[in-house]
Structure 1
Amino acid sequence: MKKDIFIGMFVGLVANAIGLFLAANLLGKGDDFTVVIDAAAKEGFLGKLISLGAILNLIAFFIFIRKKQDYRARGVLLITVFIAVFTFIFKLF
């Protein structure tokens, strides 16, 4: 059970990282990934960019639900909630 939750958390983190990379490349208009992240941090929309990256977690979540791997889906959901709380706190400061 714990192993499946950790696998789901890992998949959630990887899916969010890939989603962040894709969102930065699509919205960055051909700029380098680090340049886009730096510009997003300076202009105050890094939290929105991270939230866009979390969209891929939905895909992973529903794949795990469809395969009846509920504990892995729970891990993805935990990471998604953690990312939401992180972006909320990031916006406050």
Structure 2
Amino acid sequence: MIKKEVLTGFLVGLIANAIGLYLATILLGNNNDFIIALKSAAAEGVLGKLISLGAILNLLAFFVFIKKKQDYRARGVLLATIIIAISTFLFKFI
């Protein structure tokens, strides 16, 4: 039961990050298509920064779960955020 709650929070964290990445790309991408904006961000070396901006929505999801006293789901969101941070770090230096 606990693993299911953590997995649910993890998936919510990934989805929130994807939505945040989409919003950051659309807002900062000079009205380009999403895929074109991602390719140009990767070429310019700022894709990691866009992914980090996308993780801001995880903060919202985390505090919603904390407010509703769903601690295990909040742990899943936190786990997703940590994995995204590590991936961004590795993406930057590899």
TM range, smaller chain: over 0.9
CA distance in 2, matches of 1:30, 1:82: 29
* Alignment gaps of 5+ in structure 2: none
Structure 1 unmatched ranges of 5 or more: none
Shift of 1:45: 0.4
4+ aligned runs moved over 3 Å, structure 1: none
For residues 4-83 of structure 1, the aligned pairs below 5 Å read 4-83=5-84
Shift of 1:29: 1.6
Aligned to 1:3: 4
In 1, the alpha carbon distance for the partners of 2:91 and 2:57 equals 21
The CA distance in 1 between the partners of 2:66 and 2:74, in whole Å, is 6
After TM superposition, the score normalised by the length of structure 1 is 0.99
Q: Distance in 2 between matches of 1:13 and 1:91?
A: 19
Distance across 2 between alignment mates of 1:84 and 1:13: 12
Q: Deviations over 1:31-87 (max 9, x none)?
A: 000010000100100000000000000000000000000000000000000000000
Tell me the percent identity.
Answer: 65
Q: CA deviation at 1:2?
A: 0.5
Tell me how far apart the structure 2 counterparts of residues 30 and 44 of structure 1 sit (CA, whole Å): 19
If the length of structure 2 is used for normalisation, what is the TM-score? 0.98
Residue 6 of structure 1: how far off its partner (Å): 0.4
